[in-house]
A and B are shown apart, each in its own frame.
Chain A
Amino acid sequence: MTGYLLRRLAVSALMLLGVSVLIFVVLRLLPGDPTVARVGAAQNIDPAALAALREELGLNDPIPVQYWAWITGIFGGELGRSYFSQFDVTVLIGQRLGPTLELSAAGLVLAVLLAVVLAVLPTVVRSRWPGRLVGAYTVTGMAAPPFVFGIVLLAIFSVKLGVLPHQGYVPLTEDPVGNLRTLVMPALTLGICLSAPLIRHLRSELSEVDAAAHVRTATGKGIGRRAVVLRHVLPNALLPALTSLGVTVGGVLSGAVAVEYVFNWPGLGMLIVDSVFKRDYGVIQGTVLLLAAAFVVVNLAVDLLYGVLDPRLRIGRAHR
């Protein structure tokens, strides 16, 4: 187990290194100049002042030199500074991390609840319609981008009914009720989008387990359908679905990007989008690296959790 863990950690570190190189190089291949964006595309800027700014920001150095300065800075605990504001990248991320985590957690909880209920329902109620409706929900959820759901929710609950604020964010510490009111629609949007692939995976597992011998035995004993599904089918189907959940959790932060943009949610997604428009390299690099690290860590944790939950899968045990 220790060897496996070390191997996975080493692979994860290499993956993050690859991501860091990729994002660094790709950003510099994009057209656009951060110094031009920094002073605005306005008249009356002396090109010499822009050249001086490029020099000050180190943008005239060869890319490998720039990369080395950045990556060694990270090992020293420095993610760099925004080319625009005076803030360290860590401060900017700190300002945005809370709202993103809150939205991601709420979206994930909703996604899991929706997934379990909607996946189990057609299995318990063996009628054609629940299955079809859930199938339609899944296809729509996977096909439509998050902003579509967001706009639909906005149109209904904010513009038409006027019961929820259409945009913005209120910190939990400032006003818990206001926080909840602003959270509902973005979390629901994220939850719907994340639940669709989870339902698909879970339904497939439920269907497979439902056909297993032990389920037939339980049914043969005269146990009610609901009890069979909840006691014998669902627990066995949940474990394989954990992989899907792992991927979902890892991707939830990046999935929040579009949702944040629609609802003006001041999280990491908005930070990345704004920084890309401005070519604020340091902020993009730092934020993307953080999201990549979150993805890698969550997937590693899920793999390890797999072994904990299912003794058959513990690494090394099969060889004893």
Chain B
Amino acid sequence: MRRAHGRGAAALALLLLTSACSNAGDAPPEQPQPGADSGTGPIAPGGTLVYGQIAGVSQLDPNTIASGAQTQLQTLLWSGLTTWTPQNTAKPDLAESWQSTPDHRTWTFKLRAGVKYHNGKAFTAAEAKKNFDRVLDPAIPAQVAAKIDMIEAVTAPDDTTLVLTLDSPNPELPVDVIDVRMTDVDDLANIDRAANGTGPYRLRSFVPDQTVELVRNDEYWGPRPNLDEIRIVRYADATAANAALRSGQVHVLWSVAPDSVAGLATEGRQLLTAAEPAGFVVWELDTSAAPFNNPKAREALSYAANRTEMMAAAYAGYGVPTPANVPVNPKNRFYDQSLPSHGFDLDRAKQLFAEAGVTEGSTLSFWAVAGNYQEWTTVGQILQQDLAKIGIKLEIQTNEVSTWSAKFYPKGKSYPNLLAANYLSFTPPPDSYPLAWFEGTKGTCECNWVAPPEYDQAIAAIESAGEGPERETAFKDAQRILNRENPVVFIGSTAFLSVAQPQVRGLWVQAEGTLHLEEAGFAA
């Protein structure tokens, strides 16, 4: 009996070996290539689209947005003065047109007439002013405030005219105001029951963290939406969500784990991601505490990051390594191609670490999230193996999300000796957003980095200069300083991956990963 087992094991081993050998010479399985939109073609009116995600929508205030899971609602339930184009520029939304003074300090938006909130109340310039005033209120935790904090005064001379006066020039204001979404500020108490926006869909029901049901807004001022209903469903985990997609119960699945994508984007299903991803895999560091208060330790860490392997292993190749260590995608026209590369170089990393006092036997901590972000931990494990080769120990700790964020967020927290793994989405240049995150006292980077005056000057120039050489130079200057100082380590640029059934049309993905459903429908 024992011998028979041995023979069986030998046969199995031989079989596996033969199978491995026979595969060795084969071409690797073809990886589905992502697109930025779900294609064109006639769309049949009507139908219910089921949209799945593994994170729930917790609340429905568009201007104090709590999570990425909420972003796809921004353009369905609410409108802004302007809205996105796939090229990351602004196009008219509630504002039909706009113009600025030559110094870009006064902007006048001409608003559409006859627009109503979902609760029937008329939307006017006075309503827009209320929304801007609320977002700019320091007591309101509105992320978008950081983009428009140069607005000094908001006035509404008549029902269809809104004037924004700035304390410093901003030629990109139409892009920066996109995320100020108009809702009935006087009825915020009912926002989670009625949404009270002016968007193409209105709210039918909302169960926090479970489902959001939307129905077509027949009084929408714009083109008639294609779908009758959109149902947003949250799944407890990736396994359940993937099974739902495979069984056809879900038409679109957002934020699919990279290692699942190849298996899901089959049988004609569409794999979608941004054309120019502006989401970044990063390690945040406390630059005010040892050892990363020493720029050499930060530079060493940047050289110790095998970005190519990390993006290949953790993100299945759906991402672009960023060895220049800046928050600008190499595909972006403002990316400085001449920046020195921080290519993977363990010897150099060891030397720089030693100069910063991180010697053999030292221990660093890697702070990741337990649950649905396994790729962060995978990236950490690669670093762990590489650091071990130069005698530095990396302890990986995975924490549930609240514990993880409380360690280093918001800025001002001290977290010595720690690498906080994170994923950051930015509005890409020409907006100053990703680079202004590091700006002196105004920036809110949790890295606690004190930017040199030349950096702040560069940001000021980006924000005030119109298209032209001055702006181009300022972008380069800011990137050069980040490349030199490394206040944060950027591993790669990527965007959330989504998978859609073959018959879905009209979807497109924004640079930071938001999937736009407002023009979605089913193929005719």
Contacts and interface: CB of A to CB of B under 8 A. Distances in A.
A41 interface: yes
Interface string B221-240: 00000000000011110001
A279 B402 contact: yes
Interface in A240-296: 261-262, 264, 266, 270-271, 274, 277-279
A264 B411 contact: no
Nearest to B434: A43
Contacts of B412: 47
B363 interface: no
Interface residues of A, number: 50
A74 B424 CA distance: 41
B139 A52 contact: yes
A158 B211 CA distance: 22
Most chain-A CB neighbours within 10 Å: which of B59, B210, B433?
B210
Interface stretch (B37-45, B185-193, B294-302): B185-193
Contacts of B424: 42-43
A40 B191 contact: no
Interface stretch (A31-39, A196-204, A224-232): A31-39
A86 interface: yes
A85 interface: yes
Contact of B60 (A50, A85, A266, A278): A85
| Listed residue (B188, B402, B406, B446) with the most chain A CB atoms within 10 angstroms of its CB | B402
B243 A92 contact: no
A48 interface: yes
B382 interface: no
Counting chain B CB atoms within 10 Å of each CB, the highest count among A30, A85, A166, A264 belongs to A85
Contacts of A50: 141, 410
A266 B444 contact: no
Given A33-B402, A87-B192, A87-B208, A46 B56 contact: no
A42 B59 CA distance: 16
A49 interface: yes
Contact of A41 (B189, B400, B409): B409
A112 B125 CA distance: 64
Contact of B145 (A46, A96, A165, A261): A46
A45 B407 CA distance: 16
B445 A43 contact: yes
Nearest to B205: A95
A82 interface: yes
B374 interface: no
A37 B405 contact: yes
A46 B138 contact: yes
A44 interface: yes
A73 interface: no
Nearest to A158: B243
Contacts of B334: none
B401 interface: yes
B65 interface: yes
A44 B401 contact: no
Given A37-B402, A40-B66, 18 more contacts: A30-B403, A32-B402, A32-B403, A36-B402, A36-B405, A37-B405, A40-B68, A42-B424, A44-B147, A45-B410, A48-B138, A85-B59, A86-B188, A86-B193, A92-B208, A95-B207, A167-B243, A264-B234
Interface of A: 30-50, 52-53, 56, 82, 84-87, 92, 95-96, 154, 158-159, 162, 165-168, 261-262, 264, 266, 270-271, 274, 277-279
Interface of B: 56, 58-60, 64-68, 138-143, 145-147, 188-193, 206-211, 233-236, 240, 243-244, 247, 249, 400-407, 409-412, 422, 424, 433, 437, 444-446
8 contacts: A32-B405, A33-B406, A39-B66, A44-B437, A53-B141, A92-B208, A158-B243, A167-B236
